[in-house]
């Protein structure tokens, strides 16, 4: 990268920010990495019997959809600037809804596992979660690479990545504890902690008023006819 821009970015040639497509490229890379993590953790979750790992996998899938939406929204915003703000607002709302859905799934699965514990291959659980954590870190670096002002969509996608990093780290720790103690309840308990943490983050996001800010960005164009009646 050159000053936060990909090497093939047209901005490096024209110095015109309207020619920059780096934002959409970052979302695309985050999407690809998320799908790879999802497939790996899904397979690893079934292999190890870890609900926490499966929960993380489906949460990552939801975030992958988020990054895909962000990519499409960013491309559309470039081609239809006047509608870009509204499209990004819609994408942000869908992203938040997906995160809420993931939280509900995690809660239900964890409660079922607490009532009906099952054997877990903790060592493989730990290794798969560690690989997922490395993938999350790479996503964070990709999204963080660009400079400038962040809109609401970028903020929520970055929030998803930070949450994924926290979840993966928690699953790694859970795998270590299960291996050392043999306490199977740690897996569903960890899933509940993850869901509670994500719930708090979503509530915090809604309280910041970012949706209203995004909507204002989408409705504020230089060609507003403020003096017309």
Q: How far apart are CA 195 and CA 182, in angstroms?
A: 23
pLDDT of residue 197: 73
End-to-end CA distance of the chain: give it in Å, rounded: 48
Share of the chain above pLDDT 90, in %: 24
Query: What are the residues facing 2 on neighbouring strands?
Result: 5
Confidence tier at 101 by pLDDT (50, 70, 90): confident
198 CB neighbour count, 10 Å cutoff: 22
pLDDT of residue 99: 74
What's the pTM value of the predicted model, to 2 decimals? 0.71
For residue 217, pLDDT beyond 50: no
The three-class DSSP label of residue 7 is coil
Q: How far apart are CA 184 and CA 187, in angstroms?
A: 6
The three-class DSSP label of residue 184 is coil
Task: Kindly report, residue by residue over 205-216, the tens digit of the pLDDT.
Answer: 566 544 444 444
For residue 150, pLDDT beyond 60: no
Mean pLDDT score, 98-125: 86
As a three-state string, the secondary structure of 118-174 is CCCCHHHHHHHHHHHHHHHHHHHHHHHCCCCCCCHHHHHHHHHHHHHHHHHHHHHHH
Confidence tier at 151 by pLDDT (50, 70, 90): low
> Which of 67-76, 92-101, 173-182, 216-225 has the highest average model confidence (pLDDT)?
173-182
Q: How far apart are CA 39 and CA 57, in angstroms?
A: 7
For residue 188, pLDDT beyond 70: yes
pLDDT of residue 58: 82
For residue 38, pLDDT beyond 90: yes
Structural contact between residues 168 and 63, judged by C-beta atoms closer than 8 angstroms? no
Query: What are the residues facing 16 on neighbouring strands?
Result: none
Mean pLDDT score, 23-28: 82
Task: Kindly report, residue by residue over 46-89, the tens digit of the pLDDT.
Answer: 999 998 898 888 878 878 887 888 788 777 766 666 665 676 66
Confidence tier at 203 by pLDDT (50, 70, 90): confident
DSSP string, 39-69: HHHHHHHHHHT-HHHHHHHHHHHHHHHHHHH
Query: What are the residues facing 5 on neighbouring strands?
Result: 2
pLDDT of residue 103: 84
Q: Report, at the CATH architecture level, how domain 23-144+151-219 is classified.
A: Up-down Bundle (1.20)
Mean pLDDT score, 5-9: 50
Q: How far apart are CA 102 and CA 98, in angstroms?
A: 6
């Amino acid at each position: 990268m050159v000053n936060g821009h990909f090497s093939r970015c047209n901005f490096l040639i024209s110095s015109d920010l309207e020619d920059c497509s780096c934002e959409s490229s970052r979302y695309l890379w985050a999407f690809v990495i998320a799908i790879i993590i999802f497939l790996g953790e899904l397979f690893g979750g079934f292999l190890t019997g870890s609900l926490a790992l499966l929960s993380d996998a489906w949460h990552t899938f939801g975030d992958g959809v988020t990054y895909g939406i962000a990519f499409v929204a960013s491309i559309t915003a470039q081609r239809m600037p006047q509608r870009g703000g509204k499209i990004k607002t819609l994408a942000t709302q869908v992203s938040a809804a997906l995160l809420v859905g993931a939280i509900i799934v995690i809660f239900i699965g964890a409660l079922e596992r607490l009532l009906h514990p099952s054997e877990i291959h903790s060592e493989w659980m730990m290794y798969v979660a560690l690989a997922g954590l490395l993938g999350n870190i790479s996503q964070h670096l990709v999204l963080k690479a660009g400079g400038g002002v962040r809109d609401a969509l970028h903020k929520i996608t970055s929030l998803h990545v930070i949450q994924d990093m926290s979840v993966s780290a928690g699953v790694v720790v859970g795998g270590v504890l299960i291996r050392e103690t043999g306490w199977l309840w740690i897996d569903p308990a960890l899933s509940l902690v993850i869901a509670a943490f994500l719930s708090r983050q979503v509530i915090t996001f809604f309280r910041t008023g970012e949706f209203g800010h995004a909507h204002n960005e989408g409705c504020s164009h230089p060609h507003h006819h403020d003096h017309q009646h």
